[in-house]
Amino acid sequence: MKKSIDRGIITPHPVLIIGTYDKDGTPNAMNAAWGGQVGSNQISVSLSTHKTTENIKLNREFTVAFATADQVEACDYVGLVSGSKVPDKLEKCGFTVTQSDRVNAPVIDQLPVTIECRVVALQEEFGETRVVAEIVGMKADEEVLTDGKVDLGKLRPVIYDTAGKCYRVVGDSVGGAWNVGKKLL
Ligand SMILES: Cc1cc2nc3c(=O)[nH]c(=O)nc-3n(C[C@H](O)[C@H](O)[C@H](O)COP(=O)(O)O)c2cc1C
């Protein structure tokens, strides 16, 4: 029998590592699990008051890398510490960056897949900043590609488990989309 649980929430969440530059050009990164794809070419993230939020308002461009099992400690660290208190936050967790050629934002070298985003709307609502951004590009290391496409089996991205408050690695394929259900047609 199904039980009613206090609070409803979408689960699982993706773990997005947002890369930005501040006004002095110092790169920063933060962990954001309250976000995702909107339509075919946009994303949305809900941000509280952070150095990242300030940087996005300033530059209106940022990157989003996908947290991986291999880099889970560094990905968690950027969600624990603020770049406004620890200016060398990225160095502390072993992240280095390369400037994106599409947006004024850093691409984290240690995270294999990154999308490049440009803000289309900033909504101040319910005490947070809701950022809607267009995806203008994507970068991926060759090692995580199969036939030119991102292979999640190779990337090993993590998702955020809100109930368990932990990261879980994305698992095996259990069937082809728009395909496995054809057995029931
Ligand atoms: C798993 C996890 C998910 C998080 N998700 C969000 C989020 O979606 N929105 C948000 O505003 N903060 C989120 N945070 C908190 C920020 O990542 C954190 O406050 C960070 O230190 C901000 O860094 P900054 O001040 O350098 O930008 C999350 C933290 C963790 C560990």
- Atom in ligand 1 nearest the alpha carbon of residue 76: 31
pTM: 0.98
CB 62 within 8 A of CB 55: yes
Structural domain boundaries in the chain = 13-184
pLDDT digit string, tens, across residues 68-122? 999 999 999 999 999 999 999 999 999 999 999 999 999 999 999 999 999 999 9
Ligand 1 pocket member 32 (CB < 6 A): yes
CATH-assigned architecture of domain 13-184: Roll (2.30)
- Atom in ligand 1 nearest the alpha carbon of residue 52: 27
Sheet holding 113-125, edge to edge: 27-32, 16-21, 61-66, 113-125, 128-140, 42-47, 35-38
Ligand 1 center to 99 CA (angstroms): 22
Ligand 1 center to 50 CA (angstroms): 8
CB 107 within 8 A of CB 140: no
Ligand 1 pocket member 51 (CB < 6 A): yes
Q: What is the mean pLDDT of the chain?
A: 97
Other CB atoms within 10 A of residue 54 CB: 18
d(Cα 113, Cα 106) in Å, to the nearest integer?
Answer: 13
Give the residue among 163, 157, 164, 172 at the shortest CA–CA distance from 15: 157
